[in-house]
Amino acid sequence: MHNRRRTAERKSGMTDLKIDRRYPIGAEVIAGERVHFRVWAPKAKRLEVGIEGEWGNDLGAEAPPPFAELQSEPDGYFSGALEAKAGSLYRFRLNGAGNLYPDPASRFQPEGPHGPSCVVDPFAFKWTDQAWPGIKMPGQIVYEMHVGTFTPEGTWRAAMKELAELARIGITVIEMMPIADFPGEFGWGYDGVDLFAPTRLYGKPDDLRAFVNEAHSLGLAVILDVVYNHFGPDGNYLGVYSGDYLHHERDNEWGDSINFDGENSGPVREFFITNGRYWVEEFHFDGFRFDATQSIHDESDEYIVGAIGRAARLAAGRRSIILVAENEPQETKLIRPRSEGGDDLDAVWNDDFHHSAYVAVTGRHEAYYSDYRGRPQEFVSAAKFGYLFQGQPYSWQESERGTPTFNAHPAAFVSFLENHDQVSNSAQGARMRFESAPGVYRALTGLVLLGPWTPLLFQGEEFGATSPFVFFSDVGDDNLREAIRAGRFEFLSQFPSMAVAEVQRTLPVPTERETFERCKLNLAERQTQRPFYDLHRDLIRLRREDSRFQKQIPGGVDGAVLGEHSFVLRYFGEANDERLLIVNLGPVQPFIPGPEPLLAPPFGCEWKVIWSSDNERYGGPGVAKPVSDEGWLLPAESTIAMRAIPQTKPRRKPKERKRER
C-alpha cells in the first residue's frame, strides 16, 4: 500500500516539478525515466548525485560519473529530480570532495554497503495477496528463520520452495532474522548498516517480495527481525551526512546508542519510523520482532518503538500485523496499551521459560542461568503468569528484574526451547536435544507446543537438526575480525564451563567461512530424523485442531506441583471441554494418594489420554495410562495430554469402614 505521499516542489533542470513522494527519504521513480532523490545531510553545504550506470551492465568505471546538484531545503535536507530509472546506480558527493557515498536510505546495494546504491521501482512486482487479511497474535506458531542457512543456496528463492512444507506441518508465522545489508559474504544480520536495503546476499528485492507473496498464498505470515538499537561497525556512512544519528554520551553493549531523543533527533526518528512503514508497505511484511529493545534508549513522550509500531499499523491499512519485542529486563510496558501508558506491542520473548527449561535439561545454572533451577513451580508459574521475574531480586545482575505481567494475555509471551541466541550460546552451537536425555527432550517439546503461550521453533528444530548454529560474521578487515573473535570468546567465558583454556581452543571462529557453512540445514533430515519430525508435526496439529488447546484463554490455566520433577497444568473450558497436561521430567512417580483437586475430572467425566511423548513413533517406550482405579502413576520423562470425556463406567461405591465416634 502506498497511501502516504509527500509533496515537494523543486527545480530540476529548467522545469518546476511537483513531486509526489511516498517517503521523505531515498530515491523514488516518479515518471518516465526520472528519479527524485531526497536525503538528510546537515553536514553538507552542497550535495550532488552522480549516476554511475545501470546495474548488470559493464560500467567502465574509470570515467567519473556526471553529477547533478540537489537543491537545499530547510533543516538539512537536499532533494531534486533527474534522468534515471530503476536499475540506475548512483552515489552522493558532499561539498565537491572526491569521495562518493551510498544513499543512507538506499533501497538496494548490489555490490554491498561500500558500493553504489541502486534505484528500485517497487511497483514492478505484481502482488497477488490482495485478499490476505494479516494476522493477530493468538493462535500463532512462530518459526525463526535465518535465510542464509535455511537452505544450501541461502537465498529467498530457495527458501520460498520450502514454504509449502512449513505450512503443511502447521507453522503460521515466519520470523525472518535481520536482512538489512551488511559487508562481507555471511553473517547473522544484526550488524546491518543499510536499513532500507534487503541484503544482496539472499537475492534481489523482488525475490524477497516473491517470498512474502508466496507465504501469504499458503496462509503463512512473515514478520521481520529489525535492529534499531545500533548500527554495524563496518559500512555505516550515516556519519558522513550527519553527526546526530548517534548519541555519543549514551552507549550500549554494541557501541553508541542511536539518537532518538537528543538534539536534532527529529530526522533520526523520521528515518526509523519511515523504515517501519517501508517494510510493511513495500514488502507486505506482517509485523516486526524488535531486537534488544533495552538498548533502544528514548525518553521522548512517545517511545520510538511504539511510534514505529503505530506507523506500521497505519501503513498496513486493513491488514492486521503483530509487533513482538525482545527485552532483557522484562519491561511489560511494551505490551500494555497506549491508553495505559504502554507501547501497544503484541508480545515479548520469554527468556525465563527457556532458562528454566535449559537448567532442567542440563542441571547447569551458571552465568545468566544462575537464578533458575528448572523446577516444576517455574513451569507452572510461566504458564500462569508469563515472566517468572516481575520485580524480585535477581542475583546475576544484583538488582531487581522485571515488572508485573498480571492481566496480560497468554499469547503475549513467546516461549521456546531454542532460538538463534540460545543455541549459539553453547560451546559448539549444539541443539538442546544433544544436551538432554531423549525422554526429557520429548517431554519439554510437548510442553512448549501445548502450553498456553505462543510457541516458537528455531529452524530445523522441528526435525531434530544435527547441524549446529553458532555466531558467524564476515564483517570488516583483519583487525575488526580479530576483535569480533575475541569479543565472542570473551562473551562465552561468562560461563565457567566455557572459560577453561581447552574449551576456548575448540570454539568455532566466527569469521571463518567453514563456521558459517556448518550451520546450514540438511533438509533431508526431515526423513532421516523422522521421529523428531513426527513429534513436532503431531503436536502442532493437536495444538491447532484440539478444541481447547487451540484457545489461549486469559486466566484459563492453573497448575500444581506433583513432585520433585513433576507438575500438572489444568486447562479449564466450557461444557467440560477441559484438558490436563501431566509433565514428569524425572523417574517414574507414583502419586498415591492424590490429594490435588486439579487432577479430579469434571463431574460425570473421566480422563482420556489423547497424546503422549512416550509414543513409539517418537522413539518412546510406548504410551502408558497414568491413572487407574488405584491412583496416579506418572511415567518417567514424559508429557501426557488428557481430555475430559463422559464417564464410561459408574463411579465405584466406597467401602464401608468403621468411623470414629
Largest Cα–Cα separation, the chain: 111
Q: For residue 661, what pLDDT is reported? A: 59
Q: Which helix (H) or strand (E) holds 53?
A: strand 47-54
The residue that leads in pLDDT, 283 or 475, is 283
Q: Helix 304-316 vs helix 266-283: angle between axes, to the nearest 10 degrees?
A: 30
The phi and psi torsions of 482 (rounded to 5 degrees) equal -65, -40
Find the Cα–Cα–Cα–Cα dihedral 596, 601, 604, 605, rounded to 10°. -160
pLDDT tens, position by position, 197-251: 999 999 999 999 999 999 999 999 999 999 999 999 899 999 999 999 998 777 6
Spatial separation of the C-alpha atoms in residues 262 and 272, rounded to whole Å: 15
Q: For residue 654, what pLDDT is reported? A: 80
pLDDT at 554 over 60: yes
Q: For residue 431, what pLDDT is reported? A: 96
All three cell numbers of 264, joined, read 536534532
Banded model confidence at residue 253, pLDDT cuts 50, 70, 90:
confident
pLDDT at 123 over 70: yes
SS3 call for 312: helix
pLDDT at 11 over 80: no
Q: What is the mean pLDDT of residues 388-407?
A: 95
Q: Helix 438-450 vs helix 530-545: angle between axes, to the nearest 10 degrees?
A: 30
Q: What is the mean pLDDT of residues 569-598?
A: 94
**pLDDT-above-90 percentage for the chain:** 84
Spatial separation of the C-alpha atoms in residues 412 and 231, rounded to whole Å: 28
Q: What is the mean pLDDT of residues 165-188?
A: 97
pTM, two decimals, is 0.95
Determine whether 291 is an active site residue: yes
pLDDT at 36 over 80: yes
Residue 184 pairs in a beta bridge with none
- For the chain, the average pLDDT equals 93
Q: For residue 360, what pLDDT is reported? A: 97
Q: Which domains does the chain have, with CATH numbers?
A: 6-124 (2.60.40.10), 556-646 (2.60.40.1180)
Q: For residue 229, what pLDDT is reported? A: 95
Please pick, among 103, 191, 291, 538, the residue that the annotation labels catalytic: 291
The residue that leads in pLDDT, 565 or 575, is 565
The phi and psi torsions of 540 (rounded to 5 degrees) equal -65, -40
- Those residues whose C-beta lies under 8 Å from the C-beta of residue 579, and which sit 6 or more positions away, are 546, 548, 549, 570, 571, 573, 641, 642, 643, 644
Residue with cell 488428557: 642
Banded model confidence at residue 60, pLDDT cuts 50, 70, 90:
very low
Residue 487 CA to chain centroid, in angstroms?
Answer: 23
Whether residue 348 contacts residue 413, with contact meaning beta carbons closer than 8 Å, is answered with: yes
Q: For residue 487, what pLDDT is reported? A: 87
Q: For residue 12, what pLDDT is reported? A: 37
Q: For residue 472, what pLDDT is reported? A: 96
pLDDT at 17 over 80: no
pLDDT tens, position by position, 296-308: 999 999 999 999 9
pLDDT at 19 over 80: no
- Those residues whose C-beta lies under 8 Å from the C-beta of residue 589, and which sit 6 or more positions away, are 562, 563, 565, 566, 633, 634, 636
Please pick, among 206, 326, 371, 614, the residue that the annotation labels catalytic: 326
Whether residue 570 contacts residue 580, with contact meaning beta carbons closer than 8 Å, is answered with: yes
DSSP labels for 561-572? E-SSSEEEEEE-
Find the Cα–Cα–Cα–Cα dihedral 78, 107, 131, 308, rounded to 10°. -60
Q: What is the mean pLDDT of residues 499-527?
A: 94
* Rg (the chain; Cα; Å): 27
pLDDT tens, position by position, 420-471: 999 999 889 999 999 999 999 999 999 999 999 999 999 999 999 999 999 9
Residue with cell 524488535: 290
Residue with cell 519491561: 331
pLDDT at 66 over 70: yes
The three-point CA angle 146-147-148 to 5° equals: 95
328, 352, 348: which is closest to 336 by C-alpha?
Answer: 348
All three cell numbers of 290, joined, read 524488535
The Cα-based distances of 169 to 380, 462, 539, 657 in angstroms read 28, 9, 10, 55
